[in-house]
Amino acid sequence: MMNASKTEYRILVVEDNPGDFALVEDFIFEQIESPIIIQVKTFKEAEEILIKTGPVYTVVLLDLSLPDRAGEALIYEMVKLCRNIPVIVLTGYTDFAFGVKSLSLGASDYLLKEDLTSISLYKSIIYSSERKRIISALEESEKRVRSFANQLNNALEEERARISREIHDEFGQHLSGLKMSLSSLKKSNNGNHELETLISALVADVNISIESVRQIANELRPVLIDKLGLIAAIEWLVAEFEKKTGISSYLEADTDQLVMDEMPEINIFRICQEALTNITKHANATSVKIQIKNTDGQLFIKIIDNGSGIKSKTLHNPLSMGLLNMKERANLIDAKLNINSSSQNGTIIELILDTNGKKNINSRRSFRN
């Protein structure tokens, strides 16, 4: 017997052939000290015991031909049932393609019974259980990172909203007061033409400053999102984009009401904002279209341009900040982000979000093309 780890090994063997089970059992005892081995002969029995006991098993050894289930369907159902328990497939079939297929379905390993030895089985059990442990640890670590990123993103948006309010309310009010004072001074002017001209110029400068303050406040946190909802905010974004860049831009929306939480609204808006910023910097586009469809509990948003496309090295560069920002924001709201780009057809960025079960915060504005 090899000097196996003192970790307790609980092994569920799903095998209906007595001879094959006896061989597997002998191999396990040959390499592992005092393992706990449980045998079941059908998928139904395996299902019942796994539901009853939970994830207490180190591995599941699965024969591919059971009385009540076999083949791909058996692997799929067993992997789904086992969740974090590695599933090692044991089979008499020598089909290499099927072995690869079983791994793609989630099996940890694929062993041929005719080539099975105590060493190969032991290695598979050890490697599979350790790999699953590492993957589970990585997944848990990723969850913590995602949670932190979400909290950081929320804090950032709250800070942006606070700064936006202060800029709009405080600085904007001061400028409005200055404008009123200048207007009052102009009215009390005793016919001094030069002074009147100077005051008019100052009022014009103040008007420009007031508009700049509103613009900065809106870019930090568009007030339209809070007052009128996502559709209105994206409509404003598209209009401002066209005004600034001269690129022909328009919005197509087949919905006049969206039902979702506040954070998805903000992140969707930021993704659209980032996409339009990237188009301005890199695409050399002459037209941009944003399509919004709300169908069967899913929200589809496409941002389409006719530009020069995104270079392959940029598209696949994990450190490309604009694309990374969009992908991370999509992850934060459990959305899918697909990017298709070519030098001939431009770029299509598609965001897909499941809106079922979201909090009922409507877009609060009726919008139609």
What are 195-248's pLDDT values in tens digits? 888 888 888 888 888 888 877 877 777 777 777 788 888 998 999 899 989 999
Q: Which of 64, 99, 116 is the last residue of a domain?
A: 116
CATH number at residue 329: 3.30.565.10
**Confidence at residue 316, expressed as pLDDT on a 0 to 100 scale:** 64
Q: Which of 116, 142, 168 is the last residue of a domain?
A: 116
Q: Which of 272, 321, 324, 323 is nearest to 301 (CA)?
A: 272
Vertex 310: Cα angle to 242 and 369 (nearest 5): 35
The answer to whether residue 153 sits within a structural domain is no
Distance from C-alpha of 210 to C-alpha of 175, rounded to nearest angstrom: 6
The answer to whether residue 5 sits within a structural domain is no
Q: Which of 38, 31, 71 is nearest to 53 (CA)?
A: 38
Same domain, 239 and 369: yes
**Confidence at residue 135, expressed as pLDDT on a 0 to 100 scale:** 84
- Helix, coil or strand: residue 66: coil
Distance from C-alpha of 233 to C-alpha of 266, rounded to nearest angstrom: 10
**Confidence at residue 366, expressed as pLDDT on a 0 to 100 scale:** 34
Number of independent structural domains in the chain:
2
- Phi and psi at 240, nearest 5°, equal -65, -40
Same domain, 109 and 245: no
Residues of the chain short of pLDDT 70, as ranges, are 1-6, 256-257, 259, 315-319, 356-369
Q: Which two tokens stand for residue 291?
A: 């399509």
The answer to whether residue 265 sits within a structural domain is yes
Contact 232, 363 (CB under 8 A): yes
The answer to whether residue 184 sits within a structural domain is no
The answer to whether residue 102 sits within a structural domain is yes
pTM listed for this prediction: 0.57
The amino acid present at 288, given as its one-letter code, is: V
The answer to whether residue 33 sits within a structural domain is yes
The answer to whether residue 284 sits within a structural domain is yes
Same domain, 108 and 234: no
**Confidence at residue 39, expressed as pLDDT on a 0 to 100 scale:** 95
| Mean pLDDT (the chain, rounded) | 84
**Confidence at residue 319, expressed as pLDDT on a 0 to 100 scale:** 59
**Confidence at residue 364, expressed as pLDDT on a 0 to 100 scale:** 35
CATH number at residue 89: 3.40.50.2300
**Residue range of the domain that includes 303:** 228-369
Same domain, 112 and 248: no
Q: Which of 59, 88, 116 is the last residue of a domain?
A: 116
Q: Is 147 exposed, middle or buried (0-12, 13-18, 19+ CB in 10 A)?
A: exposed
